[in-house]
Amino acid sequence: MVKICCIGAGYVGGPTMAVIALKCPSVEVAVVDISVPRITAWNSDQLPIYEPGLDDVVKQCRGKNLFFSTDVEKHVREADIVFVSVNTPTKTRGLGAGKAADLTYWESAARMIADVSVSDKIVVEKSTVPVKTAEAIEKILMHNSKGIKFQILSNPEFLAEGTAIEDLFYPDRVLIGGRETPEGFKAVKALKDVYAQWVPEDRILTTNLWSAELTKLAANAFLAQRISSVNAMSALCEATGANVSEVSYAVGKDSRIGPKFLNSSVGFGGSCFQKDILNLVYICECNGLPEVAEYWKQVIKINDYQKTRFVNRIVSSMFNTVSNKKIAVLGFAFKKDTGDTRETPAIDVCKGLLGDKARISIYDPQVTEEQIQRDLTMNKFDWDHPIHLQPMSPTTVKQVSVAWDAYAATKDAHGICLLTEWDEFKTLDYERIFENMQKPAFVFDGRNVVDAEKLRKIGFIVYSIGKPLDQWLKDMPALA
Ligand code: NAD
Ligand code: UDX
């Protein structure tokens, strides 16, 4: 029986390994982590992450060929294939701070693999890492190997949160990069055989190590660039009376462009896009390519601009001040169908409103109060460095409350911000909400989820990203 061990039981390690266990009954999969609460949750009925379909998959395999454990060394020692799926956040200190990937967790995992191994192993980079990381990992493993042979593969993960199980069941492609040597090809084949149990062969791509590593950064940069492109257009749409939904629909009809990933929004969030682009920018700079670095930096700049623009629009529409006004924030997760708040645009929008002394009442169906408070207290990039966490300041505590539903959040509010496209926000009783709000009552739709015309008929003043402005908003232009 082939034994697989995955180091890191997070958003990637957990679902990916659960699907491998489901699709490969003859493989034994152990997912290990240094975090005791995470592993305890994976072994309970309350999994540590919310992901549609994940419960079912875990229930089918857990205890049979899928195990979650904190005994990292034992499972690594016994494994034939070791996936490393630890976090690779943006560095907050030292050389490359604010851009480069922090490989501390990766390096410590690699040293541990070298320390405890007593048999040859394939080590798979599942985390997103800078191109050429495999070379550094090889050095760590070889220098500490006591004669044991390691083959390093790059097998980046392309799943998106909220659709992880679907993406893993039917991936557009699986990418495996390896050394172009007989041992390298043998290792690539061993991993390919695992995926081939459910992924059609023509969707399993094999490349050299550096192409696989770089493809992951490139794919995320291309995806994020589409969002920044459509968001840049949304600003121009508002200025000219064009409608961004009509523009993106018509643009996406060109088969060379395609319709996906062209939804204008308050900005992209999530743990990957910003981190991976900053990492790409840093790699370009280190390779003496400042023009290329500058090009990709713009994707982040437009994303930041879009969030600032949204906050400015709220403040200017509400007579240039939100001081002491209650603003309801509907949705805090970075997208629907996940409870993940890493780099969610809601953090920047809420911080912007708090900076203008608003009182905010937040409701999200999947995000806990504790998480929201932590997010609003943290400095940029600190979320993945637990050591830097601080308690919430007393002023922030007074200004922020978390509500149990959208009706409680919007009661007596002056304005509503829609920041996550949860389906339930489309079908709220907006007449009831309007009745219970201060007047004039505003809706700022950062995801284009509500029917603006219907809401205007009720009496709301509505701002929808990238859509023609009504007279009120035209009379109160947002200043950058
Ligand atoms: P995560 O923070 O959810 O999980 C990482 C886990 O690794 C944590 O539970 C942490 O405790 C554990 N860990 C860290 N060091 C360890 C060690 N030395 N030994 C054992 N466990 C250790 O992160 P994630 O979202 O799963 O992302 C993991 C990697 O996958 C990152 O490189 C990320 O860029 C990449 N990725 C993420 C996504 C996504 O949607 N989240 C998609 C594709 C790729
Ligand atoms: C992304 C990549 O899609 C995935 O392939 C990679 O493995 C990890 O990073 P994820 O961050 O989980 O996945 O979600 P994604 O669906 O890409 O959304 C990222 C952000 O972009 C979200 O905030 C989302 O709301 C936003 N978005 C997405 C838009 O604003 N407009 C769109 O058209 C699409």
- Indicate whether residue 34 lines ligand 1 (CB < 6 A): yes
Which atom, in ligand 1's list, is nearest to the CA of 14?
26
Structure tokens at 233: 């257009």
**Amino acid letter at 359?**
R
Decide whether any atom of ligand 1 lies within 6 Å of the 340 Cβ. Answer: no
Domain count, the chain: 2
Question: Quick check: helix, strand or coil at residue 5?
Answer: strand
| 151 CA from centroid of ligand 2 (Å) | 32
- In this structure, the answer to whether residues 411 and 284 fall within a common structural domain is yes
* 126 CA from centroid of ligand 1 (Å): 9
**Are 139 and 262 in the same domain?**
no
Instruction: Looking at the structure, tell me whether residues 409 and 300 fall in a common domain.
Output: yes
Does ipTM exceed 0.95?
yes
Q: Measured from the CA of 261, which atom of ligand 2 is nearest?
A: 33
Per-residue DSSP letter, 361: E
* Residue 272 annotated among the catalytic residues of the structure: yes
Of all atoms in ligand 1, which is nearest to the CA of residue 105? 15
Same domain (yes/no): 306, 425: yes
Asked if residue 213 belongs to a domain, the reply is no
- Tell me the ligand closest to 16's alpha carbon: 1
Instruction: Identify which ligand lies nearest to the alpha carbon of 446.
Output: 2
Q: Whole domain around residue 317: which residue ranges?
A: 233-475
CA torsion through residues 7, 11, 16, 21, sign? positive
Question: Does residue 90 share a domain with residue 180?
Answer: yes
For ligand 1, atom 6: residue with the closest CA: 8
222 within a domain of the structure (yes/no): no
Cβ atoms within 10 A of the Cβ of 113, count? 27
In ligand 1, the atom with minimum distance to the C-alpha of 109 is 18
User: Of 199, 216, 245, which one is at a domain's C-terminal end?
Assistant: 199
- Judge whether 212 lies within some domain: no
Q: Are residues 361 and 444 in the same domain?
A: yes
Gap from CA of 361 to ligand 1 centroid (Å): 31
Evaluate whether residue 133 is within a structural domain: yes
- Regarding the beta carbon of 35 and ligand 1, being less than 6 Å apart is answered yes
Closest protein CA for atom 17 of ligand 2: 160
Ligand 2 centroid vs 71 CA: distance in angstroms? Answer: 33
Instruction: Break the chain down into helix, strand, coil percent, rounded to 5.
Output: 45, 15, 40
Alpha helix (H) residue ranges in 253-362: 273-286, 290-317, 345-355
Ligand 2 centroid vs 419 CA: distance in angstroms? Answer: 14
Pocket test for ligand 2, best of 11, 12, 49, 161 (most atoms within 8 A of CB): 161
Query: Do residues 277 and 423 both lie within one domain?
Result: yes
Bridge partners (DSSP) of residue 4 are: 29, 81
- Among 140, 175, 199, identify where a domain stops: 199
Indicate whether 288 and 189 sit together in one domain: no
Ligand 1 binding pocket includes 87 (Cβ within 6 Å):
yes
* Domain annotation covers residue 240: yes
Last residue of a domain, one of 149, 173, 199: 199
Question: Has residue 381 been placed in a domain?
Answer: yes
Q: Which residue's CA lies nearest to atom 12 of ligand 1?
A: 8
| 118 and 252 part of one domain | no
**Helix, strand or coil for residue 94?**
coil
Rounded Cα–Cα distance for residues 213 and 129 (Å) = 7
Within a domain: 204: no
| Distance (Å) from CA 378 to ligand 2 centroid | 22
Does one domain contain both 246 and 132?
no
Q: Is 161 in the pocket of ligand 1 (CB under 6 A)?
A: yes
Same domain for 9 and 124? yes
Nearest to 130 by CA among 153, 151, 100: 100
**Pocket around ligand 2: residues whose beta carbon is below 6 Å from it?**
157-161, 220, 223, 227, 261-263, 265, 268-270, 272-273, 334-335
> What CATH number is given to the structural domain containing 311?
3.40.50.720
Residue identifier of the C-alpha nearest atom 32 of ligand 1: 127
Domain annotation covers residue 216 = no
Whether 184 and 330 map to the same domain: the answer is no
How are strands ordered across the β-sheet holding 400-402?
A: 400-402, 359-363, 326-330, 415-418, 442-445, 461-464
pLDDT tens, residue order, the chain (480 aa): 899 999 999 999 999 999 999 999 999 999 999 999 999 999 999 999 999 999 999 999 999 999 999 999 999 999 999 999 999 999 999 999 999 999 999 999 999 999 999 999 999 999 999 999 999 999 999 887 788 999 999 999 999 999 999 999 999 999 999 999 999 999 999 999 999 999 999 999 999 999 999 999 999 999 999 999 999 999 999 999 999 999 999 999 999 999 999 999 999 999 999 999 999 999 999 999 999 999 999 999 999 999 999 999 999 999 999 999 999 999 999 999 999 999 999 999 999 999 999 999 999 999 999 999 989 988 776 666 655 555 666 666 678 999 999 999 999 999 999 999 999 999 999 999 999 999 999 999 999 999 999 999 999 999 999 999 988 888 887 765
- Ligand 1 nearest-atom number relative to CA 128: 32
Of ligand 2's listed atoms, the one at least distance from the Cα of 260 is: 33
